[in-house]
Amino acid sequence: MIVVVAECEAGAVSEASLECVEEARDLAGALGCTVHVLLPGHAVAATAPLLAAHGADHVTLLEHPALAAFSADLWLAALEPPLRALAPRLVLAPDSGHARAWLPRLALRLPAPLVTRCVALWPGADGQLELTRPAHSGAQHERLVCPGAPTILATFAPGARGLGRLDHARQAQVERHIPDLTGAHGRDQTHGRLPPNPRTVDISEAERVIAGGLGVGSPEGLELLWQLADQLGAAVGGTRVIADRGWLPFERQIGSTGKTIAPQFYLAVGISGASQHTSGITGSETVVVINSDRTAPMFGFADLGLVGDLHRIVPELLRLLNTDAVTR
């Protein structure tokens, strides 16, 4: 059995959780086992059909008013008993702030190995699970096994695979359970959530991304993208070539040797479209491309393409955005 611990954001299952369900579904198909989803929260019954459509065979809703807001202490108290009872081969959760708070503590209690920020999981030739994750600042990938471990805990990097098509005909067995939180005290309590700062948010978790390539010409050209990103509430990323030149921090590099992203909106500016970069954006919902070379391979990924000089187009976009802001 594979267990996925899903998360809700504003009453809806997070995309990162649904990616975990799909990854577990594919792995379970290869192993010949089932996918069991545990979802802590309050009044989350409406999410069960969506979890089933993405690949869950069994859904357990751990519902309690105290779980309406995240608390690592209360999540651990609610999740540890069913996870011990199920004794799954793998526990998979999104690589999120929630999982980073409670999952390491569970690993110590079981005890069980914990592998973080995985980008792929599959059964090896000897039947052991193989877990792949970035290493050496994303320059390489490493494949790990945990010999002799009856249960492995892992987190899955958001955007590592993107979301596939839903199978609405798929059914899951659903049960609701009220966890016993008597005596459990949440030392950490969520009083509210602040919107992420696009300039500091992990680019793999950003909903909007503006990325630059060598075509931006200079650090000054990249500064135009930062200004545009501030107007659009977007994060800034880029290709390896501009990261190597020091124009952009390496943690904002997108592609096979950088971050994999799956934003709702992706704007590529001055990026030719080499496979090393495009392999990291396949989960993007809407792709817009600005490039002076109409033959650039990047246009093949575009929902909308603009052929022209970015040093004229981007300042005009900034002017229009500022004019619209003044008008409102």
For the entire predicted model, the pTM comes to 0.72
- Residue type present at position 326: V
Could you tell me if 225 and 212 are in contact, meaning their C-beta atoms sit under 8 angstroms apart?
yes
In which order are the strands placed within the sheet that holds 58-63?
114-118, 152-156, 90-94, 2-5, 35-41, 58-63, 173-177
Asked, for residue 192, whether it belongs to a domain, the answer is no
Q: What is the per-residue pLDDT for 129?
A: 94
Q: Which residues of 259-275 are buried (b: 16+ CB within 10 A; e: fewer)?
A: bbbbbebbbbbbbbbbe
DSSP string, 275-292: HHHHTT-TT-SEEEEEES
Q: Which residues of 89-112 are buried (b: 16+ CB within 10 A; e: fewer)?
A: bbbbbbbbebbebbbeebbeebeb
My answer on whether omega of the bond before 111 falls inside 30° of 0, hence cis, is: yes
Let me know whether 307 and 270 are in one domain: yes
Asked, for residue 164, whether it belongs to a domain, the answer is yes
CA torsion angle for 259, 260, 264, 267 (degrees, to 10)? 60
Asked, for residue 261, whether it belongs to a domain, the answer is yes
Asked, for residue 225, whether it belongs to a domain, the answer is yes
What angle in degrees, to the nearest 10, is found between the helix axes of 310-327 and 219-232? 30
Residue carrying the six token digits 């309590």 = 189
Domain count along the chain: 2
In this structure, what CATH number is given to the domain that contains residue 148? 3.40.50.620
In this structure, what CATH number is given to the domain that contains residue 218? 3.40.50.1220
Let me know whether 120 and 253 are in one domain: no
Q: Which domain holds residue 84?
A: 2-177
Asked, for residue 209, whether it belongs to a domain, the answer is yes
Q: What is the per-residue pLDDT for 324?
A: 62
Q: What is d(CA 136, CA 156) in angstroms, rounded to the nearest whole number?
A: 18
Let me know whether 141 and 232 are in one domain: no
Q: What is the per-residue pLDDT for 326?
A: 46
Asked, for residue 197, whether it belongs to a domain, the answer is no
* CA 139 distance to own-chain centroid: 19
Q: What is the per-residue pLDDT for 318?
A: 93
Q: What is the pLDDT along the chain (328 residues), one digit of tens a residue?
A: 999 999 998 789 999 999 999 999 999 999 999 999 999 999 999 999 999 999 999 999 999 999 988 899 999 999 999 999 999 999 999 999 899 999 999 999 999 999 999 999 999 878 889 999 988 766 678 999 999 999 999 999 987 887 888 999 999 999 999 999 887 777 776 676 677 788 888 888 888 999 999 999 999 999 999 999 999 999 999 999 999 999 999 999 999 888 888 888 999 999 999 998 998 898 788 999 999 999 999 999 999 999 999 999 999 999 998 876 545 4
Q: What is the per-residue pLDDT for 139?
A: 65
